[in-house]
């Protein structure tokens, strides 16, 4: 597997660092490759990682790659914030926790997808019953975007 990492200053478009990681990918080393790349980026940015951050980088979220794959599929769907895709995301997260009941991130995704799905259903019902209801006065795109931001932060 080849991963090409480029760090670019968004303000100046200046290339700060480029590095290519050529690794043989296996179930045993997937998370160690992620850790290696994260540590390399932190060093390039001259970031000082706290012991908690270092632990987070080096800790495998799950030993079950099928659970991790289901989790990633759920994450991809939940960020789209569409009603049908929230239900699909919930199914992926459910599968992930069935495969690895100790996979905390999958439980978090399951909770968020259920919460968002229910909120979305209630908002649609409110609008159906009364188009001028208070839900219409919310900035619904901002609310769902904030949920997406929360989901992104929960995975760091």
Tell me: the pLDDT tens digits for 59-114? 778 889 899 999 999 999 988 777 788 889 999 999 999 999 999 999 999 999 88
The Cα 128–Cα 133 span in angstroms is 9
Higher-pLDDT residue of 117 and 113 is 113
User: Could you tell me the residue ranges of all domains in the chain?
Assistant: 2-58, 65-154
Residues in the chain: 156
Higher-pLDDT residue of 91 and 17 is 91
- Taking each helix axis from N to C end, the angle separating 65-78 and 104-129, rounded to the nearest 10 degrees, works out to 30
Contacts (Cβ under 8 Å, ≥6 apart) of 138: none
Buried b vs exposed e over 83-106: b needs ≥16 C-beta within 10 Å?
eebbebbbbbbbbbbebbeebebb
Q: pLDDT tens, 34-48?
A: 777 777 777 777 667
Determine what percent of the chain is predicted with pLDDT higher than 70.
78
Which two three-digit tokens encode residue 130?
A: 């009364």
Buried b vs exposed e over 141-152: b needs ≥16 C-beta within 10 Å?
eeebeebbeebe
- Looking at the DSSP assignment, which residues form a beta bridge with residue 15? 8
Strand segments, DSSP code E, in the chain are 2-8, 15-22
Contact 70, 49 (CB under 8 A): no
Computed over every residue of the chain, the mean pLDDT equals: 78
The Cα 98–Cα 74 span in angstroms is 14
Query: What is residue 96's predicted lDDT score, i.e. its pLDDT?
Result: 96
């Amino acid at each position: 597997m080849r991963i090409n990492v480029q760090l670019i200053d968004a303000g100046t478009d200046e290339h700060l660092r480029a590095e290519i990681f050529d690794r043989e990918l296996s179930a045993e080393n997937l998370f160690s490759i992620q850790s290696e790349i994260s540590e390399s980026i932190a060093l390039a940015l001259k970031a000082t990682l706290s012991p908690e951050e270092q632990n987070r980088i080096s800790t495998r979220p799950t030993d079950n790659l099928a659970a991790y794959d289901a989790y990633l599929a759920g994450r991809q769907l939940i960020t789209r914030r569409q009603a049908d895709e929230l239900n699909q995301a919930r199914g992926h997260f459910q599968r992930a926790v069935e495969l690895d009941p100790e996979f905390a991130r999958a439980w978090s995704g399951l909770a968020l997808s259920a919460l968002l799905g229910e909120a979305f259903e209630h908002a649609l019902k409110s609008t159906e019953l009364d188009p001028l209801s208070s839900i219409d006065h919310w900035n619904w795109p901002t609310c769902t975007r904030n949920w997406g931001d929360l989901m992104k932060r929960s995975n760091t």
